[in-house]
């Protein structure tokens, strides 16, 4: 399962209009052979969701549990054993996982369907001699031990990588605070994207099902606004799927660092077939990108946006935990940032606790 390359001349991306009341995952999967094409009886299937932080699904920061539920039911139907896992921002502890699962509606879901939530926090280093940035990649055992991986990303903007889509979601295979460390090691977007593609090539999902019913626009991945796109997409090719979303939202794909890096590594398919709807059929006009996106797309220098704690801060300490540069201290029960140490990785912003960090341009 691991170490397969993504490159193929032709890829298929299945796209259909959907609402959370009417997902019809099985018709979405039909053109690519249905779930039975990917899952055999008795296989443990990781549903790798986007669980960025402990938030209610209505905020659109995490993959909607309705999508996870529909996919889990389909996996059960073909005899697979689904389980849910991801590594949220911050420390990867059982306590934190429980909190994230609870807020995002997954404890209820796991009880309803009788499926497991991952609490295994162990990991192993995997050799990847061809890696551009990482030749040894620490990957969580819950990812490595899965027989199959179905990734369930959500269409969202991203403060550092512009969009968080299928080519980025497997970053959640990397142990908790190592993710923050990588922000410190790979300061430039290009370097970070090179690392992300290394990770994707080692922890490659067998199937990707994108939650695009309600996405996030503006200042994602945690402080943007929900946007009703009413679409679901599926493919076995992460790059093809992200390229389809770029067409649908009228985004220049080369402006997304992971897609640019995928192109450099010759991972873009020569042809993408759309057996159901095409990106044109579901075109969404007016999707709001990050305020800094224009700079990324034109290749000009991104304006310096720094994390600024706002009045909602209660000094809970979680941003201190994720800051690899030790730039944050709690002073008088408020987060205080030493900007001489800050590398603008935005990990503290992603933690989202109390929505207490804004990104601001300093003049």
Q: What residue ranges bind ligand SF4 (CB under 6 A)?
A: 307, 309, 313-319, 322-323, 325, 327-328, 335, 337, 342-348, 351, 353-354, 356-357
* Residue 261 C-beta: closest distance to ligand SF4, Å: 21
**Would you say 77 or 181 has its CB closer to ligand SF4?**
181
Residues 6+ apart with CB under 8 A from 298: none
**Would you say 222 or 235 has its CB closer to ligand SF4?**
222
C-beta separation of 239 from 257 below 8 A: no
* Residue 199 C-beta: closest distance to ligand SF4, Å: 19
Residues 6+ apart with CB under 8 A from 162: 255, 256, 257, 289, 290, 293, 296
**Would you say 174 or 227 has its CB closer to ligand SF4?**
174
**Would you say 150 or 323 has its CB closer to ligand SF4?**
323
Count of beta carbons in the 10 Å neighbourhood of residue 136:
10
- The residue written with tokens 């679901």 in the block is 232
**Would you say 295 or 354 has its CB closer to ligand SF4?**
354
Residue 176 vs residues 91, 141, 360: alpha-carbon distances, Å = 5, 13, 26
* Residue 178 C-beta: closest distance to ligand SF4, Å: 14
* Residue 329 C-beta: closest distance to ligand SF4, Å: 10
DSSP one-letter string for 224-269: SEEEEEEEEEEES-HHHHHHHHHHHHT--GGGSHHHHHHHHTT-S-
Cα dihedral 31, 84, 101, 118, rounded to 10, equals -170
* Residue 342 C-beta: closest distance to ligand SF4, Å: 3
C-beta separation of 190 from 257 below 8 A: yes
How far is it, in rounded angstroms, from Cα 87 to Cα 93? 9
**Would you say 92 or 287 has its CB closer to ligand SF4?**
92
**Would you say 263 or 344 has its CB closer to ligand SF4?**
344
* Residue 50 C-beta: closest distance to ligand SF4, Å: 19
* Residue 336 C-beta: closest distance to ligand SF4, Å: 9
Task: Please count the helices (runs of H) and the strands (runs of E) in the chain.
Answer: 12, 17
């Amino acid at each position: 399962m691991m170490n397969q390359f993504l490159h193929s001349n032709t890829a298929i991306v299945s796209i259909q209009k959907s609402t959370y009341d009417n997902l019809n995952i099985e018709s979405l999967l039909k053109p690519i052979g249905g779930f039975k094409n990917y899952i055999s009886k008795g296989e443990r299937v990781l549903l790798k969701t986007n669980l960025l932080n402990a938030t209610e699904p209505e905020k659109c920061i995490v993959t909607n549990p309705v999508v996870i539920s529909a996919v889990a039911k389909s996996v059960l139907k073909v005899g697979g054993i689904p389980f849910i896992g991801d590594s949220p921002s911050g420390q990867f502890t059982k306590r934190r996982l429980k909190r994230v699962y609870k807020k995002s509606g997954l404890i209820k879901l796991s009880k309803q369907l009788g499926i497991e939530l991952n609490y295994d926090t162990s990991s192993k280093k995997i050799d990847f001699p061809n890696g551009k940035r990482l030749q040894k990649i620490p990957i969580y055992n819950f990812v490595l031990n899965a027989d199959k991986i179905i990734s369930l990303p959500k269409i969202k903007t991203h403060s550092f990588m512009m969009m968080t889509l299928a080519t980025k979601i497997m970053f959640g295979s990397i142990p908790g605070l190592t993710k923050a460390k990588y922000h410190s090691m790979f300061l430039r977007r290009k370097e970070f994207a090179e690392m992300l593609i290394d990770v994707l090539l080692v922890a490659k999902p067998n199937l990707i099902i994108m939650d695009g019913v309600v996405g996030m626009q503006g200042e994602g991945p945690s402080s943007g606004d929900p946007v009703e796109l009413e679409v679901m997409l599926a493919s076995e090719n992460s790059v093809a799927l992200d390229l389809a979303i770029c067409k649908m939202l009228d985004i220049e794909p080369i402006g997304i660092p992971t897609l640019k890096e995928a192109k450099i590594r010759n991972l873009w398919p020569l042809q993408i077939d759309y057996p159901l709807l095409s990106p044109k059929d579901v075109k969404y006009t007016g999707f709001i990108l990050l305020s800094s996106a224009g700079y990324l797309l034109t290749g000009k220098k991104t304006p310096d946006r720094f994390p600024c704690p706002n009045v909602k801060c209660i000094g809970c300490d979680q941003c201190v935990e994720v800051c690899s540069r030790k730039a944050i201290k709690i002073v008088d029960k408020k987060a205080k940032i030493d900007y001489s140490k800050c590398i603008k990785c935005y990990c503290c912003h992603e933690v989202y606790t109390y929505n207490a960090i804004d990104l601001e341009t300093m003049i």
